[in-house]
Structure 1
């Protein structure tokens, strides 16, 4: 399923979850989109839009400062046609959704690893720790306004192909299920997209990011 009309309400919920996950200020409305002050050296601010609007296009013309990101639920092809050449399109992102239980039977954590939890704000962090004490895999889920937002699902290179990410997703889902929440969203990279699709997630919308990089 790919929707042609991503709602501002959904984008606001997802972005609120993303901000809570990363301990950032909550998004504020900016004209037809939203703004988050990220405060990092290579991502100062992000503006997020549910579709390519006049406001999005005007921002792309007005901004000349590096490391301010514009993000929109649209394909890179659509975006490229309407923005100045100074902007660099980033690797593709995919807004994905899962309504109801994920696919695949319950799996066990493979031998030599254990699970730890951390909680802050509305966020639950699951961490899979290896025998030597290093963090092998981690992921976050934020429950906000009736939606479960998954974020920063990462498995370190040498711990991949052991089912850790699948186990992690399973554990995160239990947090949402315990609160009766079954509408889930995330933005995936190209690499992560295949994992989520294997677990029953569907592509909801392409998600394109653009930035003027620093010198």
Structure 2
């Protein structure tokens, strides 16, 4: 039986997504949420915790390009319910870790150092070389009892050195220091294996559709 998705968790995650990007907070749209993103390639996004009638009807009503509909479901659950004008995007994965991550204590190589920043409830950790080159970066945003990890990336020249794991540990330390133990993120196919190795679990498939230019 499919695990139900908490609309409360999805709303907290989306608030964190907006805080990380310094956007206005999500607004209610029927049973879902809407964000005025304002990017050229993403004007607006609608997010639904299930592929219900509100989601299906909106997919039929909209015809404008670069508006994204996002839903906690797999492509197979929606592809026969939406008009052909919509293009399904690469699969996303909502992931949760409602306990401490499975990360052994490891040290940062002497070639690197840490930098920290903070804005909008968003804590930023950077791993840079001693010469100041950015090697890895990530953010954790605290919304109530949820720590949302966002925009985790490692430069291709610095991969396979354990930097991503070290970065996640540093971000988790920040969340734990604030008394937040519930972790959440949306991963790509590429990033999913890293999080699984750290003790994260698949919370829900997360599918995006858009009408391209």
Q: Quickly name the TM-score band, shorter chain normalised.
A: over 0.9
Q: What corresponds to 1:168 in structure 2?
A: 167
Moved more, 66-75 or 126-135: 126-135
Q: Does the Cα contact within 8 Å between 1:3 and 1:205 map onto a contact in 2?
A: no
Q: Secondary structure at the match of 2:3?
A: coil
- The CA RMSD over aligned residues, in Å, is 1.1
Are residues 1:31 and 2:33 paired?
no
Q: Secondary structure at the match of 1:175?
A: helix
Cα shift readout 1:5-27 (whole Å, capped 9, x = no counterpart): 11211111110011101111110
Q: What corresponds to 1:99 in structure 2?
A: 98
Q: Does the Cα contact within 8 Å between 1:33 and 1:48 map onto a contact in 2?
A: yes
Q: What corresponds to 1:190 in structure 2?
A: 189
Are residues 1:137 and 2:113 paired?
no
Are residues 1:58 and 2:57 paired?
yes
Q: Secondary structure at the match of 1:43?
A: coil
Separation (CA, whole Å) in 2 of partners of 1:66 and 1:193: 29
Q: What corresponds to 1:48 in structure 2?
A: 47
Cα shift readout 1:168-194 (whole Å, capped 9, x = no counterpart): 000000011011111111000000000
Q: What corresponds to 2:69 in structure 1?
A: 70
Shift of residue 86, structure 1, vs aligned partner: 0.6
* Runs of 5+ unmatched residues, structure 2: none
Separation (CA, whole Å) in 1 of partners of 2:105 and 2:23: 33
Shift of residue 3, structure 1, vs aligned partner: 5.4
Q: What corresponds to 2:177 in structure 1?
A: 178
Shift of residue 79, structure 1, vs aligned partner: 1.5
**Consecutive aligned runs of 4 or more in structure 1 exceeding 2 Å deviation:** none
Q: Does the Cα contact within 8 Å between 1:31 and 1:55 map onto a contact in 2?
A: yes
